[in-house]
Amino acid sequence: MSLASNLDAPPQQQESAAASLAGWRAYIIILLLFIAAASLSAIRKDVTFGYDEVAHVSYVAHLQSTHEMWPAFAGMRLLDASTFRFADVPNYLDHPSIYYWVLAQIGPGLEGHPDAILFYRFINVALAAIGLAAWMAIGIVLRLPPLKLYAYILPLACIPVLVPLAGAVNNDNAAFAGSGIAALAAVQLLIASSPAWLVAALIGVIIASWAKFTALLLTGGLVGGALLWLLWQGRLPWRWIGPIAVAAVLAGAPYIVFFAQYGNPVPRTAGQLAMIRNIALAKGWTDAPRLSSVSYAVSFLSEFVTDWMPTDKPRDALNYAALAIPVATALCALAGLVQAVRRVVSAKAEPLDIIVVTGCVAFAATFMIHGIFAYRLQVEFGWLTSAYPRYYLPLLAVVPLANLALLDAIDSPRTRALLLAFLIAGPIVFRVAGAPFG
């Protein structure tokens, strides 16, 4: 629309156009700031600090040195962090090789070349940026007014782990990219069924699933739930069943192969078991009394909350007090989920409600499976650190989306304004107050 025609438009239409422009400006600014911050993190990061980067880089280097596409985990070794030469230490990763194989094909040789890691980090910055851009675009697609859009996209941009993880070599970035593509396409499908958006959603699921198993559960659950809703509403053409079935097989293929090879879709490799035993022994967990299932559930949930702001520095009282912000946000999201379920049951559901319900169900199911897996590690080895929030990056956006569902259910203007202010300011305050200084 030209400037002249915009000025001639009715006042309501002018306000809508101005709100849309403000939303796009915020979207672009946040995305550019994220790319800049992640790129700076990629340049400055110590390879030994966090996110298992040495292990992920070693996986890529192994594929480059052996020219394999689907390696045997028993033969994989870790690179020495200082020389980038292979050491006699087994690699503990148990993920499908597709993400690492693609990196190995497009990037420079890693063995003996520590500086080459920067190329791979920038690829991961791009992957994370794609994921963030796609997830934030849902707010544009839903035509959220500016303040509601800020309440949605600012919490995403302020996820504590997102910037440092984006600047590291890690398959979580590929999972995040795939989930964003899948979720954006799923929302478009719910608004207006289209074969193109179906293909995009299925591709997103495959990308996320080929990155890691938790992403298969999370992203597959979200998109699968949306497709089941369309089927229930009579909006899913039968000719789509074939492509959906093919995509489901492709998404699960790596884990079918793992089950055939190792008897488990998430193999317990020799390197992984050695790492668990060594760390548990060093921390004194091996001979410690085992927690009951209830005690461990409390410990697991507590660890999940505290690790929302990951740090290796001691926390002070302010840092611990700041954790009340994400806890309160999660409780608001739970209330939003209840409202979304009510609208689904009463046949008044909007696309936002369907995404919230299916996303939360997938999140909860994955969290339960994760907790059971972690509890078994605790019983067998005494292992006490497994609740990593970054595993849930593929669906963390359902929390601010659920908060939008809560906002829509509040009639009181004052209460809506207070909640809106909290949802916008809370993530920013937590980023400042939740991190230890020094």
Beta bridge partners of 86: 79
Question: Is residue 314 classed as helix, strand or coil in its secondary structure?
Answer: coil
What CA–CA distance (Å, rounded) separates 326 from 100? Answer: 33
Give pairs for 198-205: CB < 8 Å, separation 24+.
198/240, 198/243, 198/244, 199/243, 201/226, 202/243, 202/244, 202/247, 203/178, 203/247, 204/178, 204/179, 204/180, 205/178, 205/247, 205/251
| Residue 11, pLDDT score | 55
**One-letter identity of residue 177:** A
How far apart are the C-alpha atoms of 388 and 384, rounded to whole Å? 12
DSSP string, 186-255: HHHHHHS--HHHHHHHHHHHHHHHHH-HHHHHHHHHHHHHHHHHHHHTT-S-GGGHHHHHHHHHHHHHHH
Q: How many residues does the chain have?
A: 438
Domain that holds residue 98: 20-433
Per-residue pLDDT of the chain (438 residues; tens, 9 = 90+): 443 444 455 655 655 666 678 789 999 999 999 999 999 999 999 999 888 999 999 999 999 999 999 999 999 999 999 999 999 999 999 999 999 999 999 999 999 999 999 999 999 999 999 999 999 999 999 999 999 999 999 999 999 999 999 999 999 999 999 999 999 999 999 999 899 999 999 999 999 999 999 999 999 999 999 999 999 999 999 999 999 999 999 999 999 999 999 999 999 999 999 999 999 999 999 999 999 999 999 999 999 999 999 888 899 999 999 999 999 999 999 999 999 999 999 999 999 999 999 999 999 999 999 999 999 999 999 999 889 999 999 999 999 999 999 999 999 999 999 999 999 999 999 999 998 875
Q: What one-character-per-residue DSSP string does 37-78 give? A: HHHHHHHH--TTSSTTHHHHHHHHHHHHHH--SS--GGG-EE
Torsion of Cα atoms, 72 then 75 then 76 then 78, to 10°: 170
Provide the pLDDT for residue 13. 61
Give the Å distances, CA to CA, from 49 to 42, 81, 388: 12, 11, 16
Asked if 225 and 270 count as a contact pair (C-beta separation under 8 A), the reply is: no
Backbone angles phi and psi of 88, in degrees to 5: -90, 50
Residue 6 lies in a domain: no
d(CA 346, CA 35): 42
Whether residue 24 lies inside any domain: the answer is yes
| Token code pair at residue 265 | 């879709």
Beta strands in 67-165 (DSSP E): 77-79, 86-90
Confidence at residue 17, expressed as pLDDT on a 0 to 100 scale:
67
State how many domains the chain has.
1
* Residue 26 resides in a domain: yes
Domain membership of residue 286 (yes or no) is yes
**Is the residue at 5 inside a domain?**
no
Are the C-beta atoms of 145 and 117 separated by less than 8 Å? no
What letter would DSSP give residue 114?
G
Strand, coil or helix: what is 274?
Answer: helix
Any domain includes 12 = no
Between CA 433 and CA 436 the distance in angstroms is 8
* Residue labelled with tokens 């040789």: 109
- Could you tell me if residue 315 is inside a domain? yes
The answer to whether position 438 is within a domain reads no
